[in-house]
Structure 1
Amino acid sequence: MYTIVDIETTGNGIHGNRITEIALYNLDENGISDSYSSLVNPQSEIPAFITGLTGISTAMVRQAPLFHELAPKIEEMTRGRIFVAHSVNFDYPIVQQEFRRAGLEFVRKKLCSVRLSRKVFPGLKSYSLGKLCSSLKIPLENRHRAAGDAHATTLLFQRILESPQGKEAISRFLNARSQESTLPPHLPKTSYQNLPETPGIYYFLNSKKEIIYVGKAINLKKRVLSHFYDKSEKELIMCRETADLDFECSGSELVALLMEAAAIKKYYPRYNRAQKSRKPTFGLFTYTDQSGIRHLAINKLQKGQNSLKVFYKPTEARLFLEALCTEFGLCAKFCHLQDGVSHCNHFRVPQCAGVCRGIETPDTYNLRIENALRALDQKAENILIREKGRHTDEEALVWIAEGMYRGYGFVPKMSEVNSLEDLEPFLTPQKAYPETAQIIGAYLLKNPEKGRERARMDVPGAIETGRLL
């Protein structure tokens, strides 16, 4: 029926993590029917801190069998049985990976004794194997050795089977459609169930209530669950630390992106890397060719270079240049949106006045280039971007003053809003970062109609009652 498994490893990360010892106990209706354990040669050094924890040294495993030599025995013992482990989402993928290295597939139904224990024995302070055995008076010998831990897990699993709600809990966890079995072992089911299926940001917290990861989502529940399906090294380690979830609704993806950027800067979570050291990598440059025609071009930034404008992604840069060409009637060929063509015919940029066909003079064309560059230097207008609120009775807004991001807010649709002063109680001031400038810039490039909804906040009555311009 069940095979209870425990492994000891080199501790070098999931993909580099090699098994140093494995133990299996087969459990049937009448009790333990078979058992097996062996040291395993990981074909790599065992770090000193792992030896200190388990007592297994590199010298001890040097003459031990390789995993592929043990694979037939492990496959035979587990065939047709349910794979049970304490924190199964750690043990099972590593065993699977060892089978793959041996050129074999290993697929079993699985159960986590941590999650089952939380269901069957609620209210305990800790569900680590040692603390559980202490609380339930289960003997545990040879801690942090595969045979000792596997035997204790077997006795724990027997207690679960004997409990009044044990079989029902096991049946629910084995349901192939049940999402609960994919959750991290220390995460209460209610933390996941409380997540809405709406846009927002989410927080992963460890047992000390420290925020270890922040993410944004269009569907919070679906996005959080995807972390638990991900078997990458980072995700598995992070999920094992996750003991609670928190969230904030945003109403829209734009506000979620801005909220996420602010939260990462505020908490600097350990598993967030993307926004900690982001630097612009592309720049807008200009030069004049031998014919006297002024060019604009996007190129990678080199150290010490000064550009007219910086960008973080090539797509963002191209969209900006396309918008500039459209607004000022610039030539896609001489803005290097099209190379190797005799004259411009870009599918997103209207045809120019003819500088590329010899119809317009370079001097006339260069005046438009000067106007475009002058516009880059001018003080930006104030903008209030309207987006969906967190519910149907409100709107979200993003406030940009003189080209600088100032914050976001949520305004009830029935509110009397006639001026910026009326909006201030609803606004959440925020600091501007390069990341927020990139987010808003990319949004306005993809939604140019939003950029035209200017709020002339110095003019009384420019913000209509109940409607944001």
Structure 2
Amino acid sequence: MEFAIVDIETTGGAPKYGGITEIAVLIHDGESIVREYQTLLNPEQAIPTYITGLTGIDNFMVRHKPTFSDIQEDLWELLDGRVFVAHNVSFDYGFLREAFLKVGKELKTPKLCTVRLSRKVYPGMGSYSLGRLCESQKIQIEARHRAMGDAKATAILFDRMIKSDYQIINQSLKKNTGEAFLPPNFPHSKFREIPTACGVYYMLDERSKVIYVGKAINIRERFKNHFSGELLPNLKQKLKTEVFDLKWELTGSEFMALLFETLEIKRLWPKYNSALKRPKRLLGLFHYEDNSGYGRFQVAKITKFFKPVESFFSMEEANSFLKTGIETYGLCPKLCGLRKVNCDPEEDLSCNGACSSTEPPKEYNKRVTEFMEKIRESQKEILIKLDGRNPNETAYCMFESGMLSRFSYLENDRVSDDIPSQLNPVAQVPETYYLLRQFIHQISAEQIMVLESSKSNL
């Protein structure tokens, strides 16, 4: 058995929208490293300044480097047939799987995560980040946040773990198949038919009645996790007893899967989906500039005297929204009200020093303004263009007052100038408003069309 130990650097964001700037692969034969591969890549998109600050990789360094398409055959030969190993494997694997899909290949290799392995081999640690693990094991990282430096450190860590307990590899790989955990009434052949693509899935009982609806970026992996994970043990046991079949609908994108899942839960009201109740608006996100000129955000109760830039139904929802904004726009957690003390450069990678006044207010506030503009944009009547279920179609979603009002998958050669009139109406539910607010930062400007007078076109 051979292992491909991988580390990548990216432009940030989700795999569908981010690009790869550097990759390193080390081939381990179970005893030692037998092959190395490393290259910078042109991500075919701009590298954000905060990413350059983290990795040292800037636009100038990669402008004449190969693209992923240029190296995909060599990389495929390195990965195919080997166990894919990475620290937080879902991140690296997700980016590479998406990159291969764009060149017509589907990456399907066994995966091992050194974060999960280290939790078993080194239990009780406060943090399982690569930096903390290497510090505890006295492993020197030659170039932190560069692909080969992190890959070599991961390889040393992996080598020590498998040599201390090789059975942990077999146990982890066996668990990753998921088939040992399938419900007793669910056929194994059906499990192998489940797609690894993004979509909505329906669990059915012995009478073919839908008892649970869910969404997933990878439907097969998500279905497996229902029965192999530790979360919600009571629900897991009930589903394991009652699930006889599974159906699914591919959606083309995670955002479309979330929207469709919400509509289907409202339509079918399956007994094992939590009831979606509309809460009262209690909290608001407020923006102001402090005495030093830095833009700040604060979550507080809404009053009649001050208008928030956005409203929420719980502190949990507000914090989740802010964290997405922080990661997307490189904002400072302290200036967004999520930290009480100045940021730690190792933990808060998005902060470029605004909280310690090392980043000028003017430069920081540019990103604050981008965040604010994206929020305002999500509150208008808009039409959003998303990936379809295949290369020949596109998904179009229309939002009125922030809620999904119409959507359809349209074939690319049949899209008219009046797109709203081609979309099917849906019942407007508040939950789609929350989803739009969470995802608007991940959607590019080219995908969004502001509708000036959409109602007159319907």
* Shorter-chain TM band: 0.3 to 0.5
**What is the TM-score normalised by the length of structure 1?**
0.44
**What is the TM-score normalised by the length of structure 2?**
0.45
